[in-house]
Amino acid sequence: MRSSLFVSRRAVVASVLAATVGLSTSGIAWAADPLKIGLILPLTGPFASTGRQIEAACRLYIARNGDIVAGRKVELIVKDDTGAPETTKRIAQDLIVQQKVNILAGFGLTPLALATASVATEAKVPMVVMAAATSVITTRSPFIVRAGFTLPQVTAPIAEWALKNNVKRVATLVTDFGPGLDAEKTFVKRFTEGGGTIVESIRTPLQNPDFAPFLQRVKDAKPDALFVFVPSGQGTAVMKQFGDRGLAAAGIKLIGTGDVVDDDILDAIGAPALGVVTSFHYSAAHPSPENKAYVDAFMKANNGMRPNFMSIGGYGMHLIYEAEKKTGGSNDGEKLVEAMRSMSWTSPRGPVSIDPATREPVQTV
């Protein structure tokens, strides 16, 4: 009796509300438009692990924080760009024109983010970059806010570490595109300014790299250490060749940014990962209560998959939720970016804030 009375009362309230705001009573009537987030990621192809991690993190954020924010139902529209820049751009245009998305997010590689920047600017739609990490990206549109990291920010500390740990001669090996060039430039500058010597700088192709001949060159140059940046997904091949070619046995130390030994592939790398020294903004082993809860929930929701640093950029969904709350559920791209650009919060990675001048994350490495 009580429950049927309750249901009919709710129905009356819903229909009055719907009549007031001009909505249909079929299904659930929302007082506000849904919040449509277009999440564009490489979900197939060589960088699919990045897409898988970020999508899982976005879904986990929604599961843990509810799918209604500022009174708006959150609609995540996930699209696979296969890692091809022209596809990313076309999908972004379609999402804006056809689906009327309020926010673009994802961007698994630098070229994908660069190709889409002008779309965000023209449509005045916020573009939350969760993975791509070349420093120049945020300068390409005032609507870009970065949730992940930049290569210069994670590279500088390992150069300092090398200088303090008796590493005098270093070879560098980076992938020949934006983030690799950022990493090489930052490492070489810091290391040589501190008195170190670069014996060789090698750049490997982004697509289908064969690391073996490059690592042979490094071995012949006999450095104290090899500094490596390769994008997430390519670390296993580098680590295997490093062992197989006898560089570790020759006493060459492997150092780098954390991309080369990311948490997702650590088990696949196995023993060769022991002794590698990297600097980074995230580790699944970070012992904060927030991170322990995050790792547990992530693994439970994803068949035991361990979250890596790409996931933590995806968990930057927080920026979108908080910007909606701050603006009272706004659709205005400029207001949303304004709300994001001064935000600070405790992420599973540690304390994070967005630098209002650059729209880049400030975080502990």
State in angstroms the smallest separation of the CB of 262 from ligand PHB: 7
Under rule CB under 6 A, residue 109 binds ligand PHB = yes
Q: Which phi and psi angles does 281 have, rounded to 5°? A: -95, -5
> What would the x/- binding string for ligand PHB be over residues 219 to 238, using CB under 6 A?
------------xx------
Closer of 101 and 261 to ligand PHB (Cβ):
261
Closer of 69 and 104 to ligand PHB (Cβ):
104
Reduced to 3 states (helix: H, G, I; strand: E, B; else coil), residue 108 is: coil
In whole angstroms, give the CA distance from residue 355 to residue 340. Answer: 10
Q: Which phi and psi angles does 253 have, rounded to 5°? A: -85, 140
State in angstroms the smallest separation of the CB of 81 from ligand PHB: 13
Closer of 256 and 333 to ligand PHB (Cβ):
256
**Residue among 324, 352, 351 at smallest CA distance from 338:** 324
User: CB neighbours (10 Å) of residue 275?
Assistant: 9
Judged by CB under 6 A, which of 88, 102, 116, 134 binds ligand PHB? 134
Binding part of the chain for ligand PHB, among 126-134, 153-161, 210-218, 236-244 by CB under 6 A, reads: 126-134
Closer of 155 and 232 to ligand PHB (Cβ):
232
CA dihedral 232, 54, 356, 281 (to 10 degrees): -40
Closer of 88 and 134 to ligand PHB (Cβ):
134
Under rule CB under 6 A, residue 83 binds ligand PHB = no
State in angstroms the smallest separation of the CB of 216 from ligand PHB: 24
Pairing mode, strands 225-229 and 253-257: parallel
State in angstroms the smallest separation of the CB of 177 from ligand PHB: 7
State in angstroms the smallest separation of the CB of 4 from ligand PHB: 56
State in angstroms the smallest separation of the CB of 166 from ligand PHB: 28
Q: Where are the beta strands (DSSP E) in 155-224?
A: 169-175, 197-204
In whole angstroms, give the CA distance from residue 263 to residue 302. Answer: 14
In whole angstroms, give the CA distance from residue 224 to residue 251. Answer: 7
> What would the x/- binding string for ligand PHB be over residues 243 to 282, using CB under 6 A?
----------------x-----------------------
Q: Determine the Cα angle at 21 with ends 74 and 317, to 5°.
A: 15
Contact, 143 vs 127, CB < 8 A? Answer: yes
Closer of 138 and 232 to ligand PHB (Cβ):
232
User: CB neighbours (10 Å) of residue 271?
Assistant: 9
Under rule CB under 6 A, residue 179 binds ligand PHB = yes
**HSE toward the beta carbon, residue 157, CA cutoff 13 A:** 14
Judged by CB under 6 A, which of 60, 128, 132, 319 binds ligand PHB? 132
Binding site for ligand PHB (CB under 6 A): 109-110, 131-134, 178-179, 231-232, 259
